[in-house]
Structure formats: structure tokens, C-alpha cells
Amino acid sequence: QVQLQQWGAGLLKPSETLSLTCAVYGEPFGGYYWTWIRQPPGKGLEWIGEINHTGSTKSNPSLGGRVTISVDMSVNQFSLKLSSLTAADTAVYFCASPAKPGRRRNGLLSWDQGTLVTVSS
């Protein structure tokens, strides 16, 4: 099973850009849909977007085009950038992956523990 470990800045100011990176261990990097999810305090889960090993991405239009997801296969990592931050972007951010390569329909099986990102002046 895939193991994921995430890092990035936890306190940012409004208008700044969030940058998180997730490292993948335990399985070949190729073929998976590497995914970002977030959960604002006291609220539900929100799908941010995904990327595969070829760099093909999908993201949630509700985030207004502020999302950039990239991948670096040489080090088995994928990254999230979210620009023009506001307080509404304060959330726990998770990186996740499906159970099997190419099978997002099987649900997100592997998750990291999440990183709280706070946006405050």
C-alpha cells in the first residue's frame, strides 16, 4: 500500500500562495491519480484536484483557477499550489491516492495525516 508524507508552510497571510508537497513511498509512482483534499475547520471534505504521472491534471472549478498541481517523478513527489489565499482557505489539507493505479473509482485508500494551513494576517 502507498504511504504518503506531506510538508509545507502552516501559517500564511492573505494573498500569499500555499505550497504543499507530498512524497510517495511503497509503490511505483506511475499510474496513480495523486489527489489533494481539504477540510476547513468544522466543515466537510472538499476535493481540490488530482494529477497523474504524465502530468495530466483535474481541479475543482470552485477554487476559481487558483490551483496548480504538479508532479516530479524523479523523486516520487507531487505538489499543490493555491494562490491568492483568503481566510476561507484555512483548512487541513490531505494528500491521498486510490487503492490501485488508474482506479480512482475504487476510492481514496491511502492518506497522509493532513496539514493544518492557517491563513491569517
Partner 1 sequence: IVLTQSPGTLSLSPGEGATLSCRASQSLTSNYLVWYQKKPGQAPRLLIYDAFTRATGTPDRFSGRGSGTDFTLTISRLEPDDFAVYYCQQFDYPPYTFGQGTNLEIK
Q: Which residues bind partner 1 (CB under 8 A)?
A: 37, 44-47, 49-50, 58-62, 94, 96, 99, 104-109, 111-114
Q: Residue type for 18, please?
A: L
Helix (H, G, I), strand (E, B) or coil at 88: helix
Judged by beta carbon, residue 47 or residue 83, the one nearer partner 1 is 47
Judged by beta carbon, residue 16 or residue 21, the one nearer partner 1 is 21
Judged by beta carbon, residue 50 or residue 89, the one nearer partner 1 is 50
- Tell which residue, 54, 48, 62, has the closest CA to residue 92: 48
42 HSE (CA, 13 A, CB side): 1
Helix (H, G, I), strand (E, B) or coil at 115: strand
State in angstroms the smallest separation of the CB of 73 from partner 1: 23
State in angstroms the smallest separation of the CB of 12 from partner 1: 22
Helix (H, G, I), strand (E, B) or coil at 65: coil
State in angstroms the smallest separation of the CB of 100 from partner 1: 10
With beta carbons less than 8 A apart as the criterion, state whether 19 and 79 touch.
Answer: yes
Judged by beta carbon, residue 87 or residue 109, the one nearer partner 1 is 109
State in angstroms the smallest separation of the CB of 47 from partner 1: 5
